[in-house]
Amino acid sequence: MQELEGFTDRIICGDCLEVMKAIPDNSIHLVVTSPPYNLGISYENHNDNLVYGDYLSWMKEVWVEVKRILVKGGRFALNIAPTSIKDFRPIHHDFSNQLRDIGLIMRTEIIWYKQTMRRRTAWGSWKSPANPHIVPSWEYVLVFFKDSWALDGDPKDADITADEFMRFSDGFWYIPPESQRHGHPTPFPEELVYRLIKFYTYKGNIVLDMFGGTGTVATVAQKTGRHFIHIDISPKYCKIAEQRLQIAHMLQEFPLSTGKVGKKVKVSELFPAEAGRLTYSQAKAKKTPQVQLLESKEDYKSLEATDA
Ligand SMILES: C[S@@+](CC[C@H](N)C(=O)[O-])C[C@H]1O[C@@H](n2cnc3c(N)ncnc32)[C@H](O)[C@@H]1O
């Protein structure tokens, strides 16, 4: 597991396939991602308009790496939506077929209901069965497991509450789309990632997003006491992710600590003088004293499967 140290809790700017190939086998507990949907979206430096067959072949290469690096019982939560109304492509079916073909177990699918109907303009044939449109007001999170339904872990590191467990185990998740775009065309909401991380991992587990964008997965992993690996090909988005992590690092304990001790603290008292002027990695390297965590983050212990 030592070889993984260079990857964890880092924002890695690079091509996902290249970086993933350097990650050791059986080392990641959860992959959460939302890949480019190949809808012609204007990302900083990715062509989101590939020939569909080439797009699927590229994705399949990525899935093979996902399977290799997951631990036994490790999970892959893939956020994807059927594409446009006029040129409907069941991309989610194509992906689930690919992922089952390479031997991942399809465990479930979650409906992320976004309720975006108010913004609706395309009705097809209005008030007529001639050719009406269905507008996708939802996305999927397809969930796959590697080799086993069970993920080993210390029960004391299971930190989901009973209320969360009951709510999240109902697979219809109403979560509004992300309103803060963080300079990115398609970030997903922290709430979606929070639910996946709390439901599918133990504290101290390692969570990867190889299409990490502005660092939603990294930020939520850090806030919930998990380790993260963030990969994105865009230096611009990686920079935003670093800044976002730094801010989260400073803010995350604020409501927790004040809540627990019942004491009101001014934000200015909590932050070191250089807060906001260093990038996340600079701050980390400098070991700038941050707000005290009441619950100390435990060191990561290897949960590597012996027979995977
Ligand atoms: C749908 S967005 C992900 C957004 C992310 N979930 C967030 O909350 O910000 C897809 C991301 O994939 C990145 N990307 C595209 N091609 C890539 C590649 N070959 N390797 C790594 N990242 C890539 C894009 O830069 C883009 O940020």
Look up the CATH number of the domain holding residue 209: 3.40.50.150
**Residue 184 domain-assigned?**
yes
Decide: 214 and 178 in contact? Cβ < 8 Å.
no
pLDDT digits (tens, 9 = 90+) for 146-162: 999 999 999 999 999 99
Question: Number of structural domains, the chain?
Answer: 1
The pLDDT value given to residue 281: 57
Report the 10 Å Cβ neighbour count for 93: 13
Does this model's pTM top 0.75? yes
Containing structural domain, residue 83:
2-286
On the CB side of 184, CA atoms within 13 Å amount to 27
The pLDDT value given to residue 304: 36
Residues 6+ apart with CB under 8 A from 39: 48, 83, 84
3-state secondary structure of 157: helix
**Residue 61 domain-assigned?**
yes
**Residue 183 domain-assigned?**
yes
Model confidence at 138: pLDDT above 70: yes
Gap between the Cα atoms of 216 and 197, Å rounded: 12
State the Cα torsion 124-125-129-130 to the nearest 10°. -100
**Residue 197 domain-assigned?**
yes
pLDDT digits (tens, 9 = 90+) for 35-76: 998 877 878 777 888 889 999 999 999 999 999 999 999 999
**Residue 35 domain-assigned?**
yes
CB-ligand 1 contact for 194 (6 Å cutoff): no
**Residue 307 domain-assigned?**
no
**Residue 297 domain-assigned?**
no
Pick the residue whose CA is nearest to atom 3 on ligand 1.
213
**Residue 188 domain-assigned?**
yes
CB-ligand 1 contact for 231 (6 Å cutoff): yes
CB-ligand 1 contact for 213 (6 Å cutoff): yes
pLDDT digits (tens, 9 = 90+) for 174-232: 998 887 777 777 789 999 999 999 999 999 999 999 999 999 999 999 999 999 999 99
CB-ligand 1 contact for 234 (6 Å cutoff): yes
Pick the residue whose CA is nearest to atom 13 on ligand 1.
211
Most ligand 1 atoms within 8 A of CB, residue of 78, 190, 194, 232 to mutate = 232
